């Protein structure tokens, strides 16, 4: 493996690490929002609702950061021989509309669960590709 390819693999690994950081943060914030949402459904008041929406905003921010990081990962991955895409399009599209038009608390809970699932899937896929990239480096790390 030549020096250029080693450099490209390391750049892709760094981009994967950044994407995983934001995906994990988004997942944590979604979990917090889900917890506050449950309290909101069973009788929480204004404060509970405000906290829940604050956690949702935090998750939305992290999803936006994850979207950018996944796009960078996709770009860096295309520079590595044998890869064409990380196949993140469905997550990127999902991130675009996730927080649009949330009205009913139960619908919010459903969307939060869906978002948590999407984060888990994205984390799994990025971790799998990252592990493959690390294995490609072998002794070049």
Give how far the C-alpha of residue 96 lies from the chain's centroid of Cα atoms, to the nearest Å. 12
- Tell me the pLDDT band of 17, cut-offs 50, 70 and 90: very high
Whether pLDDT at 73 is above 60:
yes
User: What pLDDT score does 55 carry?
Assistant: 84
The residues, any chain, with a CB within 8 Å of residue 131's CB and separated by 6 or more, are none
* 8 A C-beta contact, residue 72 and residue 16: no
3-class secondary structure per residue, the chain: CCHHHHHHHHHHHHHHHHHHHHHHHHHHHHHHHHHHHHHHHCCCCHHHHHHHHHHHHHHHHHHHHHHHHHHHHHHHHHCCCCCCCCCCHHHHHHHHHCCCCCCCHHHHHHHHHHHHHHHHHHHHHHHHHHHHHHHHHHHHC
Please tell me the distance from the alpha carbon of residue 8 to that of residue 80, in angstroms, as a whole number.
6
Tell me the residue range of the domain where 75 lies: 3-140
- How confident is the prediction for the chain on average, in pLDDT? 80
pTM for the model stands at: 0.74
- Tell me the pLDDT band of 99, cut-offs 50, 70 and 90: very low
Give how far the C-alpha of residue 49 lies from the chain's centroid of Cα atoms, to the nearest Å. 24
Could you tell me which residue, 100 or 38, shows the higher pLDDT? 38
pLDDT digits (tens, 9 = 90+) for 37-54: 777 777 777 788 788 888
What is the number of domains present in the chain?
A: 1
User: What pLDDT score does 130 carry?
Assistant: 92
- Tell me the pLDDT band of 63, cut-offs 50, 70 and 90: confident
């Amino acid at each position: 493996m030549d020096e250029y390819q080693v450099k490209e693999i390391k750049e892709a690994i760094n981009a994967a690490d950044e994407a995983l950081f934001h995906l994990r943060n988004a997942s944590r914030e979604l979990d917090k929002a889900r917890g506050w949402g449950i309290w909101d459904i069973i009788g929480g008041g204004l404060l509970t609702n405000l906290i829940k929406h604050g956690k949702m905003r935090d998750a939305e921010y992290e999803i936006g950061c994850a979207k950018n990081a996944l796009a960078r990962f996709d770009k860096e991955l295309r520079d590595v021989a044998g890869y064409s895409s990380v196949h993140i399009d469905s997550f990127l599209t999902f991130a675009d509309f996730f927080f649009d038009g949330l009205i009913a608390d139960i619908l919010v809970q459903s969307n939060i669960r869906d978002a948590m699932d999407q984060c888990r899937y994205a984390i799994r896929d990025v971790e799998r590709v990252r592990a493959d990239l690390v294995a490609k480096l072998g002794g070049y790390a």
